[in-house]
Amino acid sequence: MRKEGILNTDICCAISSLGHTDYLVIADPGLPIPDHVTVIDISLVKGVPGFTEVFDAVTEELVIDSYIYAEEMESSGAELLKYVQDKLAGVPAQKIPHEDLKHILPKAKVIIRTGECTPYANVILEGGVNF
């Protein structure tokens, strides 16, 4: 058993398998999941686990080159967006319409579905390298 960090086996494997420029998505339970993309559904009930809990755990272990979020998050999920921006200060970000974000999802290697029910609580993290 690990001493600390993520204990979920599927999430550990997903992070370990990501290569440079691969996408990992942290999503709300309403985001449509493309058929061929691996989904790790950790949603339990509305709000559990929350976006920030999952985001913090993943970003502690994942090297991130950039991230993408839906522009609708600026109004509907402003607090979560500020949280992401503060935690990823200095990491390049791209803001796109939610419909465009959904079209990028088939390129994701894995999507982690949370219980977060804030509208547009979806962030695409682009994997980086630590050398």
Q: Which residues are catalytic?
A: 20
Quote the CA–CA distance of 81 and 61 in Å, as a whole number. Answer: 20
Asked whether the beta carbons of 20 and 64 are under 8 A apart, the reply is no
**Are residues 73 and 101 in contact, defined by beta-carbon separation less than 8 angstroms?**
no
Q: Give the integer Cα–Cα distance in Å for 86 and 67.
A: 13
